[in-house]
Structure 1
Amino acid sequence: MNSPKPAETTPEVGTARPAETTPEVGTARPAETIAAAAEQGPSTAPASHRVFPPNRPASTLALPPAASLAGIAGIAGIAPARRRTNRGDIRSAVLTLLAEQPLNGYQLIQRITERSNGGWKPSPGGVYPALQLLEEEGIVRTEETLGRKTYQLSEQGEVYVNDNWDALAAVWADTTPAPDERLVEIGTLCEHVLTAVRHALDAADDARIAQVRQLLLDTRRSLYQMLAAAADETG
């Protein structure tokens, strides 16, 4: 007589797996870890967890609109700084500088640029009308030397500046240092790269997607290798 077979056990569907630990974002890593990240190959995670599925059908990929890509220039503070000015700002700047010494129009433009670390570069079309108005008000007087006007405070102007110094000097508190032009260029290049990626992936087939992905992986690897080399030098 045949004895009944024991029921086969099957793993329960939907059993929760233990959570996988992932390194904390932003944690400093030694050089060897950076180098390892640079050499990291394609992900072995399940297809549903991959950022780039291996066999994506040809289609127009949904990337952020072009306008939103401009934010990349803000990375590492590389967005160009621009200062909005009005006639009152130029007036205040001129008076505070003339309180230090007499200057001609060209020198005033230079001093404003220098005092703001390049963040504020007024045009002659803004400075000279302000000087003319101050002269008409009797706050500034001129002396002509070698065919060039030199501006200085009148007695009335000295009283005015002394009485209003705090308000006039506040104009310098709102100045922004000029951005590093090299970083500005890198920010622009980042925008151009993202735009190129958008065009390359427009209605792309599997081969094109693979090419774009590999280019980005190679670029990332090169940057990490550079960081690893710098960490070795400083370590």
Structure 2
Amino acid sequence: MKFHHRFHGGPEAWMRGGFGFPPFGPGPGAGPWRGRGMGGRGGGRGRRRPNVRAAVLALLVEGPMHGYEMIRELDSRTGGAWRPSPGSIYPTLQLLEDEGLIVGTVDDTGGSRRQYALTDAGRPEAEQAAQQAPWTELAPETVESWHDVRDAGLQAMDALRHVMLNGTGEQRERALAVLDETRRKLYAILADDAAGDR
């Protein structure tokens, strides 16, 4: 089977994202707590996803914040390992406001952004959440490990990009074989761990 039949659009499609899979690397919300894998939406094996509700309340113990400020704070405090999406932060803020635990007001700049603060009713739960803030679940070694994995993946994808754009058809077929083997070996790691747990 020729290369262009297996990779629709040919090597030039690589730069246009035409290979049918998303680019690898950090983006908004990237990190081991997003997607499936290291604790993402599907729930990483042996690790649970941090509690967005508790994280929001714990942050507000420190003072009023905008939703986007919370996202940046959580990203910063976990070294980029956990950056919750607006789609998880803002519905949580709305729920907490509906429960009367926080109150949102338009800031003094006259913009449309709402700043959130704890109410008296919400402070007890918030202070309890702050005693063991969810972002502390990401130990420094875990964050460092994720960065190592991400960097290795980015380097591998960069090497693959060069092969796709500059290699011969035979070289591209060999690259495909390497990818297939790597994919199988990665799944084998999970399979071995699952077998060891039984």
Scaled by the length of structure 2, what TM-score is found? Answer: 0.49
Task: Choose 1 or 2 for highest CA Rg.
Answer: 1
